[in-house]
Structure 1
Amino acid sequence: MAHVNRDKKKLLSRVRRVAGQVAALEQALQADADCSAVLIQIAAAKGAMHSLMMEVLTGHLAEHVVAERDEAVRIRETATIVELLRGYTK
């Protein structure tokens, strides 16, 4: 996956953001924060993970579907993404 290697710095930054959000969630729970504060941290962690997912998915679509010359590979990659999205949106 060339796009993952090419965008490694940006993706690692997003991963660190996810880790920070999860750490903040853990701290909120450890500190007996009220449920609204915990919900806010959960939403922030989910948003950070979603942003990471969209960044990688965008690169994958551009490089492995749209720019792919082999129709069989495009079809296979498209099916893989559809299955991924079915699981991700549950």
Structure 2
Amino acid sequence: MGHVASNKSALLKRVKRIAGQIQAVERALETDAGCATTLHLVAAMRGALNGLLDEIIREHAKEHVARPGLSDEERSQGLADLLEAIGRYSR
């Protein structure tokens, strides 16, 4: 996936921040942090994960659905992949 590779560094930075947020949730649970603290950490983690997902979906749509020159088969497959990912996310 060339379009993901071209943005690889920024995506990896986001993933590393999310990993840090997950570790913060783990520490909060291990140390019996308050409910509110843990909820805020989980909400922040979820927001960061949603942002990552949004960015990857946007890039996928540009490259595999909307890019001029795609064949009907390529465009159809790109759309099917996108709808499957959105369906999994919304469960």
How far, CA to CA, are the matches of 1:16 and 1:50 in structure 2? 14
- TM-score under structure 1 normalisation? 0.93
Higher relative contact order (CA 8 A, sep 6+): 1
How far, CA to CA, are the matches of 2:73 and 2:62 in structure 1? 16
How far, CA to CA, are the matches of 2:8 and 2:74 in structure 1? 24
Cα deviation for residue 35 of structure 1 reads: 0.9
How far, CA to CA, are the matches of 1:12 and 1:30 in structure 2? 27
Measured on the aligned residues, the alpha-carbon RMSD in Å equals: 1.0
Q: Is the 8 A contact 2:60 2:82 kept in 1?
A: no
Cα deviation for residue 31 of structure 1 reads: 1.3
- Counting matched residue pairs gives 90
The 5-angstrom pairing of residues 69-88 of structure 1 reads: 69-88=70-89
Runs of 4+ in 1 over 3 A off after TM superposition: none
How far, CA to CA, are the matches of 1:47 and 1:5 in structure 2? 23
Matched, 1:62 2:62: yes
The 5-angstrom pairing of residues 10-49 of structure 1 reads: 10-49=10-49
Aligned counterpart, 2:3:
3
How far, CA to CA, are the matches of 1:49 and 1:72 in structure 2? 30
Structure 2 unmatched ranges of 5 or more: none
- TM-score under structure 2 normalisation? 0.92
Structure 1 unmatched ranges of 5 or more: none
What percentage of residue pairs aligned between the two structures are identical?
38
How far, CA to CA, are the matches of 1:30 and 1:15 in structure 2? 22
